[in-house]
Amino acid sequence: MTDSNPSNTRDAEYLAKLQDYYADWKSIPSYASLCDVFGIASKSWVKAILDRLEKAGFVERTPDGMWIPTSSFFARHVADASVPAGMPVMVGSSHGDYHVIDDMLIDTPSKTTLIPVKGDSMIGAGIHDGDLAVVEKRNLANVGDIVVAIVDGDFTLKTLGKEGGKFVLRPENPDYPVIHPQGTLEIFGILVGLVRKYK
């Protein structure tokens, strides 16, 4: 992150075009096609650009010589809120950092699942119908955690509470009742992240 910015002035915008292309096609095309993508006419210059992007750590090559993106290729800039409007398309600017959302939210991929939220029983916690819950599977949770429990063979997202020595599932919406599970409470996992997509 410190020094991974391209040396040449326009490389940032070439990188941006490449990132947009990759978002569409999930591959880096031939030099000839990259000429169109970059808006230039010379294959040799395309190679020069990619060589610099490689040195900057945004792309690398397979043993076959194929170009592939690195993890920093996918990183998004997190704006420093105090930064005024300016901030054009600059890569590797001095402050603010870069993050891949998946990496942020998911620690252990093998134990993490995505579950769509239905209903508004947790609206008090800012969890809306249609949101995507990022859930880490485990069967132990603390009071106060938002957990995914299995009730009547269905997933339900509630805050884990305790009443009179027994665990309860508390919705974050006064219109819904607190669930007092009979017998053992089966916990599927705990909420570690939330994702919402607009429009």
Partner DNA sequence: CATCGTAAAGAACGGGCGTTCTGTTGTCAA
Partner DNA sequence: TTGACAACAGAACGCCCGTTCTTTACGATG
Binding residues for DNA restricted to 44-73, rule: CB under 7 A: 44-45, 47-48, 64-65
Pick one of DNA, a copy of itself, none as the site partner of residue 167 (Cβ within 5 to 8 A by kind). none
Phi and psi at residue 113, to the nearest 5°: -130, 160
Binding mask 113-132 for a copy of itself (x = CB under 8 A): xxxx-x----x--xxx--xx
Distance CA 2, CA 95 (A): 9
**Active-site annotation holds for 17:** no
CA distances from 49 to 22, 30, 55, 135 (A): 16, 13, 10, 41
Q: Which is nearer to a copy of itself, 10 or 118 (CB)?
A: 118
Please report where in the chains the tokens 């990183």 appear, as a residue.
75
**Active-site annotation holds for 158:** yes
Selecting among 47, 72, 158, 199, the annotated active-site residue is 158
Selecting among 121, 137, 162, 199, the annotated active-site residue is 121
The answer to whether the CB of 168 falls within 8 A of the CB of 162 is yes
User: Which residue in the set 35, 40, 168, 192 belongs to the binding site for a copy of itself (CB under 8 A)?
Assistant: 192
| Neighbour-count burial for 137-157, b at 16+ CB within 10 Å, e otherwise | eeeebeeeebbbbeeeeebbb
- Stretch near a copy of itself under the rule CB under 8 A, chosen from 3-11, 41-49, 83-91, 174-182: 83-91
